[in-house]
Amino acid sequence: MIDIAAIESAAKRLAGVSVRTPLLQNFELDTAAGGKVLVKPECLQVTGSFKIRGAYNFLSQLTPEQARSGVVAFSSGNHAQGVAAAGSMLGIRTAIVMPEDAPRAKLENTRKLGGEVITYDRYTGDREAIAREIAAERGAVVVPSYDHDYIIAGQGTVGLEIAEQSVEIGMEPDQVLVCCGGGGLIAGSATALKARLPGVSVHTVEPEDFDDTARSLLSGTRESIDDSARSICDALQAHMPGELTFAINQKLLGHGLTVSDADARAAMRFAFKHLKLVVEPGGAVALAAVLAGKIDTRGKTTAVVLSGGNVDGDLFAEIQREESG
């Protein structure tokens, strides 16, 4: 179990590497929510998502021998870009196992950032097994997407910044909504938020067919996703909560929320029209939960994390053309 000290240490390592993204407020959003909404736009982060935080925190703590051997990661795209970017910054060779149907922008950007891309079929292949096999062959270190203390602590700097920034402006949130795949971002963020703002409630937001964490919080044991599940939210398609992340989340979180793909698409349109932000489907689910009324926001201050903006241009244009009504 990580603590606030581990997250504060990660923040020091990330100084000058990651962006301290702002907390934004918008009249249209406040009106829709019937309260105050603070938006944390990690779509403005280095590589377009929060993932650089955990990736750099992990890679920067490798031993010289480990760094020389390189690393292998597995990712739908955002962790891939974070690992590739961190590797380029630190001079560490990176290879990333990615779904062959990952958004083209994520595949291309990972390669541009210096990562070696190895593709697989997300519905028939085991990305973790593939990554571990490659790592064993090369003597490389595996960089998990979420289930590692260094990753969780790095992602937790998002929650640390929300706590610090909200206090700075005198608008401490009553509740914080965070998108959830494997649970690393919310596990780290909840640790920081609860340490700095003990009265805050923190909630996962997941696609309705990938609600493994929401169901796990209810049952008290890690639940899995049916293999037939599909969602536009490619960044959030974890099939089971992480062992480490769930141990943290089970202790710190309130109930989980879910949204439909249509809700996510509507949130993407809202973010572009009113916030002037490009957000990917998985990055929009926390905002979607507010706009779709999945939690009571009336008279409250709610913080939401927009976790990423790495969406293919064609898909983004298609979603923007859809009728918002």
- State the Cα–Cα distance between residues 205 and 186, nearest whole angstrom: 10
Nearest to 297 by CA among 210, 212, 201: 201
Q: Which residues, in sequence order, are CB contacts of 259 under 8 Å at separation 6+?
A: 205, 206, 207, 208, 267, 285, 288, 289, 292, 294
Judge contact between 52 and 79, C-beta under 8 A: no
Query: Terminal CA-to-CA distance of the chain, rounded, Å?
Result: 44
Nearest to 128 by CA among 158, 91, 84, 96: 96
51 is catalytic: yes
Name the phi and psi angles at 116, rounded to 5.
-85, 120
- The residue from 18, 40, 49, 51 that is catalytic is 51
- What type of residue is 75? S
- The residue from 60, 201, 216, 307 that is catalytic is 307
Judge contact between 250 and 190, C-beta under 8 A: no
**252 class by beta-carbon count within 10 Å (0-12 exposed, 13-18 middle, 19+ buried):** middle
- State the Cα–Cα distance between residues 191 and 198, nearest whole angstrom: 10
Judge contact between 253 and 268, C-beta under 8 A: no
324 is catalytic: no
**Residues annotated catalytic, as ranges:** 51, 307
